[in-house]
Structure formats: C-alpha cells, structure tokens
Amino acid sequence: MSIPAPTVGELVPSVRLLLGPGPSPVHPRVYRAMTTPQLGHLDPQFLGIMNEVQAQLRFAFQTANPFTIAVSGTGSAGMEAALVNVIEPGDTVVICAAGVFGNRMADIVGRCGGKLVKLEVPWGQVFPHATIEEALKKHAPVKAVGIVHAETSTGAQQPMDGLGKLCHAHGALLVVDTVTSLGGVSVTVDDWEADAVYSGTQKCLSCPPGLAPFTLSPRALDAVRARKTKVQSWYLDAGMVADYWAEGKRVYHHTAPISMVYALREALRLVCEEGLEPRFARHRRNAAALISGFRALGAQPLSSDGERLPSLNAVTPPEGVDEAAVRKYLLADHDIEIGGGLGPLAGKLWRIGLMGYGSSQQNVVTVLAAIEQGMRKQGKAVAPGTAVSAALRSYDGA
C-alpha cells in the first residue's frame, strides 16, 4: 500500500498579540538566537553555552545550587521531574491545591505511588502557613510539601517566606512551582529554603515553550541519592541528567534541544541586562494599570490585594457580559489572545497575561481598548476610553 504525500502549503500563521496565560510574546532577540547554526550536543562550544545557561538560571532563581539546569520539556516536565525524583512509593506527600496546577501535582503524587494528603482552599485564595503546619504534624512523617507559587489558573500568588524553614522543621522537602513567576515576580530559592523548584520558558522569560528551568537543593539531592527504588522516569531521572549537565562529566543522556538552549540563553541575557528588581517593578506597574482599567469597567480581580500575581491577571467580567464572546471578538477582530477560566471558574473569568516582553504599557492600553469595544458589541453602555483613562491615571500616579 502506498500512502500519497499530503499537499501542505507554506506556513503563514496569523500574527497574534499573546496576552493569555501562555505562551507569552517572544522577544525578537530570542527569535534571532534560534536561527543561529546548530552545534552537536557534546560539542565543546555547546557545553560552554550550557555552563552559561546554568549561571544565568542561578541568577534568575537566586540560588547557589550546583544542580540548576534546563529540563528538555515544558514546565509540566519540570513539575514531573521535581516530584518523581523525590517521591518513592509509600511516601506521604502534602500537596496544596487551589487551582489546576496544584491538582496536577496531586495527580503525579498518585502516579508515583505516594500517599497523597491534599489541602484545598477556594480557588483564588492562598494557603495560610498554619494550615500546612497542621498537616505536617497530623500526617508525620511527611516526605515533601508541594505548592504553587504562581497559580496560572487563578492569578493567585502564594506567600513563601518561612515556608521552607517550616517544612524542614518537620523533616519535609519543599517543592515549588514557579512556572508563571520566574523572571516576572521575585523568586528567591535560597531565601525560601526551597528544595525542588521548576519553571517554564514560555511565560515571564518570553521564550518559546520547550525547556523547564529546574533546580535541586543539596538536601533534595541527598534524598534522591538515598532512594531505595529507581526514579519512575528514565528521561527525567535527575541523577542521570546531572551527569550530562555537570562540568567535567558530560555523560550522554539525550540529545538536547540545541536551538531552545540558544533561545533560553538569550532570554536570560535580557533578564540579566534589565535587572531583577526593575523587571519586577515593571510587571507590578503594568498589572496595577490593567486592574485599574478593569475596575473602571466593573470587572474585579479574583484574588485579594497582596495575594495577586502581576504576571497573570484573573478578573471576573462585569455582570451580564458574555466573557467567551468578548474573547472570541478579541481574537477575530484584533488578533489578541486572552484566556478564560478553567475548572470551576470556566465561563467566569478573563485571564490576561502580562509576562516578560508582553508586560508593557502599550499592551495594557491595547487590550483594554479592545475589551471596551467587545463589551459595546454586546450592547453594554461603555463610554470609549473608560478603561484606558483609568489605566493611564494609574501610570501617572506610579
């Protein structure tokens, strides 16, 4: 049997303004880096590039951890790598789940054969440390606590100060999801005393999806070395991957995605050039203006002040507005992508990402003006410039 070749035309995707929950707009310098010539994954020049990426990642994570790498895969691969390496069958693991990604962590614990203790609060809220401490005492001994620093499905930002110390006082490791915070919100791995922390390239780093920044503390590596069973995943086994990334070893494990490593290197160069504090301030300033604009329209943020992400803004639309129709209008008429709610929040939220290169005053004004138009298409009496004027006032007062 002969299968005929399909007829496929030239690839010409629409140019979208990506202001959803990810991926985010890619910086032009990152695109250019991806077009540079390929090297072999064991070429001495490429190994030098890997060393540079590790140093850059330590800066972004604010950690001195020697084991700081980029896992070949998206942020979900980072999540799985963090959990499968520290969890063995029978281990008790506390997962704090207040959104889609906390629930995914809980699912992986079960797949590892761990004994899951699942803590929950209403979506959009964060976990009091006292609740976590109570679970650590009640279910001792606990191998690890997993928590999402930046919950993409709700826009909530979990307070982290003191949590690692709390976990260690009860003999537990701390696993943290920073997929939607690294590069846009303060992430201080060593100050948090976090043990396994992962992220993704496609959010605040303004890089295409495909790599997962990942760091393990010496305490976490000791736990990996003390395992009685093999890591569930061959591909994500930290011990094996470490031998490829470790300077002086460079034992072949898998073929690294060369162009994505180039991209991440350039994305991290941009982070280093801007500086962490100015970058975080930019994200906060633009998020504040966006929220001011939404409030002028009668839309309210899901999470409380002080518990809200500046990189992912989740808001409840004004009463009587069809949120899905507005999103559809933005995409069809303005080539702007924003996200909707997930799970129990489906049909109840807009999720607007202002991440990395996409976090700008221009994008705030553009998306608010388009949403105003989308609401008028539904017959809502929104005076032109209502949201935009509120946003600009926020910038004037910043």
Predicted local confidence at residue 242, as pLDDT: 86
Structure token pair of residue 186:
């303060």
Predicted local confidence at residue 398, as pLDDT: 67
d(CA 71, CA 236): 8
Task: Encode burial over 225-254: b for 16+ CB neighbours within 10 A, e otherwise.
Answer: eeeeeebbbebbbbeebbebbeeeeeeebe
Residue pair 123/343 in contact (Cβ under 8 Å)? The answer is yes
Q: Is the dihedral of CA 155, 303, 326, 280 positive or negative?
A: negative
Q: Do domains 28-272 and 276-397 have the same CATH topology?
A: no
DSSP-derived letter for residue 99 is S
Q: What is the CATH class of 276-397? A: alpha beta
Predicted local confidence at residue 29, as pLDDT: 98
Structure token pair of residue 82:
């963090």
Q: What is the pLDDT along the chain (398 residues), one digit of tens a residue?
A: 899 999 999 999 999 999 999 999 999 999 999 999 999 999 999 999 999 999 999 999 999 999 999 999 999 999 999 999 999 999 999 999 999 999 999 999 999 999 999 999 999 999 999 999 999 999 999 999 999 999 999 999 999 999 999 999 999 999 999 999 999 999 999 999 999 999 999 999 999 999 999 999 999 999 999 999 999 999 999 989 888 888 778 888 899 999 999 999 999 999 999 999 999 999 999 999 999 999 999 999 999 999 999 999 999 999 999 999 999 999 999 999 999 999 999 999 999 999 999 999 999 999 999 999 999 999 888 899 999 999 999 999 86
Write the burial class of residue 8 (CB in 10 Å: 0-12 exposed, 13-18 middle, 19+ buried).
exposed
Q: Looking up tokens 């990604």, which residue turns up? A: 101
Q: Which residues contact 49 (CB under 8 A, 6 or more apart)?
A: 39, 261, 262, 265
Residue 147's DSSP bridge partners are: 176
Predicted local confidence at residue 248, as pLDDT: 73
CA 17 to the chain's CA centroid: 19
Helix or strand holding residue 95 (H, E)? strand 92-97
Helical pair 218-225 and 238-245, crossing angle rounded to 10 deg? 120
Domain boundaries, the chain: 28-272, 276-397
CATH of the domain spanning 28-272, picked from 3.40.50.10800, 3.50.50.60, 1.10.3720.10, 3.40.640.10: 3.40.640.10
Q: Which residues contact 207 (CB under 8 A, 6 or more apart)?
A: 26, 27, 30, 201, 260, 263, 264, 266, 267
